[in-house]
Amino acid sequence: MTGNIWGADVAQLRTLAQQFGQVSDTLLQSSSLLTNQINNNPSWKGSDATRFRSDWNGNHRALIQRTARALKDESRKLLDNAKEQEKASNSSGGSPSTLGAASDATPAILGGALAGGVSALRAGLTAQKFIKAPLTLAKHVGQYGWVLKNQRADLIESFAQGRHRIGGPGFAAHRILGNSALDDLLKGSGTANRGLGLIDKASDIASLKNLNQHVGILSKFGPILEEKPWLGPGTKVEWLGKSGLARGLGWAGIGFSTYDSVKSFADGDIKAGLGSAGKAILGVGCFMPPPAGTICQVASVGIAIYENWETISNVGKNIGEGVVNAVTDPGKFVSETKDAVFDAGKSIGKFLGFGD
């Protein structure tokens, strides 16, 4: 038999397996530490604390553990694939039939490893979506509510431009797509109101955004975790090109939706194709500055609620309880959880390395 046998790089497979294993171990360790902190915190009392502990022990922790186990399983598969590839490469002096079998097996090995990695990533993104959904809604409802109550004139002014021909200030419609003044007002609400500030931090952590600023032990990974502009900084397209782990995962989600759309169209399922295409467009829109970005983020959460309503509606039995409360009565949700978030955030925040 002539020619080369092309296969996977054994060292890279083992490196990837090691990374999957390390992430799995980190998730399990973090779950254990947080469980201890949540269940053994004497300063956090009341019905909200009891409900959250029940949700954490019954659902949140289990979801993290399932994700960790999936990553660990993929790590083992990658190691097995590396051994098979190494065995096939070492048998290069064998018979043509052996070489051919090894060569034919290589695409399957690589395909299995790639498919497993993609499945693990999609599972992780799905889990993250349900963890951050209630925080995303609470953040937006709280910020806009605070600005409407305390800085209504400034909010109106942020959309004003010149004078209308029939009198009064003119409305700058283009600022719906990007309003830097409104963005400053919303960010300022977190500084002015400590409860909103904690929700904002919790939302960032759930979204894996700027973790280096919120978790002390990750401060040295700033170049990887920090979200900062690299495409057109200071221009109107700055929102489209930012670096950081959260942005990378966001684009991965958009990529999955785009792939699902193309596949559905190819299979003749127009409805599913249009639905996935809409998710991809909303995903890009979520990166936009407010208010357009806010609308897209809330719409994305709404779609997740619609698609998983049966699971989410089992209030007290799943992660979606916060989403249901936030959607059915957002004002009450923010009001009732503000004190609980403040107390929990203060306690857990100290443990994670941020806050007073």
| Mean pLDDT (whole number) for 267-279 | 91
Task: Point out the least confidently predicted range of 64-78, 132-146, 294-308, 318-332.
Answer: 318-332
Asked whether 177 and 113 are in contact (CB, 8 A), the reply is: no
| Mean pLDDT (whole number) for 164-179 | 72
Task: Point out the least confidently predicted range of 20-24, 86-90, 164-168.
Answer: 164-168
**207 pLDDT tier (thresholds 50, 70, 90):** confident
Return the exposure string of 177-195: e unless at least 16 CB atoms fall within 10 Å of the residue's CB, then b: ebbeebbebbebbbeebbb
Using a 10 angstrom Cβ sphere, with 0-12 exposed, 13-18 middle and 19 or more buried, the burial of residue 269 is: middle
Q: Cα-flanking dihedrals φ and ψ of residue 288, to 5°?
A: -70, 155
> Each residue of 47-83: pLDDT tens digit?
877 887 887 788 777 777 777 787 788 878 878 887 8
**164 pLDDT tier (thresholds 50, 70, 90):** low
Residue 165 has pLDDT above 80, yes or no: no
Which residue's entry shows tokens 């007073």? 356
Instruction: Give residue 262's identity as a one-letter amino acid code.
Output: V
Asked whether 197 and 341 are in contact (CB, 8 A), the reply is: no
Q: Report the pLDDT value the prediction gives residue 324, as an integer from 0 to 100.
A: 52
Tell me which H or E stretch contains 25: helix 10-39
Residue 346 has pLDDT above 70, yes or no: no
> Each residue of 106-147: pLDDT tens digit?
555 556 666 667 777 777 787 777 778 888 888 999 999 999
**Distances 119 to 75, 83, 206, 230, 254 between C-alpha atoms, Å:** 13, 22, 20, 29, 15
Q: Cα-flanking dihedrals φ and ψ of residue 208, to 5°?
A: 60, 35
Asked whether 130 and 55 are in contact (CB, 8 A), the reply is: no
| Mean pLDDT (whole number) for 228-233 | 80
Highest mean pLDDT among 228-232, 246-250, 319-323, 341-345: 246-250
| Mean pLDDT (whole number) for 141-158 | 92
**292 pLDDT tier (thresholds 50, 70, 90):** very high
Tokens at 258, concatenated: 């785009």
- Estimate the crossing angle of helix 194-206 against helix 96-150, to 10 degrees: 170
Supply the DSSP string of 74-106, one letter for each residue. Answer: HHHHHHHHHHHHHHHHHTTTS-HHHHHHHHHHH
Instruction: Give residue 164's identity as a one-letter amino acid code.
Output: H
Tokens at 234, concatenated: 């200071």
- 3-class DSSP assignment, residue 345: helix
| Mean pLDDT (whole number) for 239-254 | 87
Q: What share of the chain has pLDDT > 90, as a percent?
A: 15
Q: Report the pLDDT value the prediction gives residue 265, as an integer from 0 to 100.
A: 92
Highest mean pLDDT among 38-52, 292-306, 310-324, 329-343: 292-306
In sequence order, what are the residues at sequence separation of 6 or more whose Cβ sits closer than 8 angstroms to the Cβ of residue 274? 261
Task: Point out the least confidently predicted range of 83-92, 110-119, 226-235, 287-296.
Answer: 110-119
Supply the DSSP string of 126-147, one letter for each residue. Answer: HHHHHHHHHHHHHHHHHHHHHH
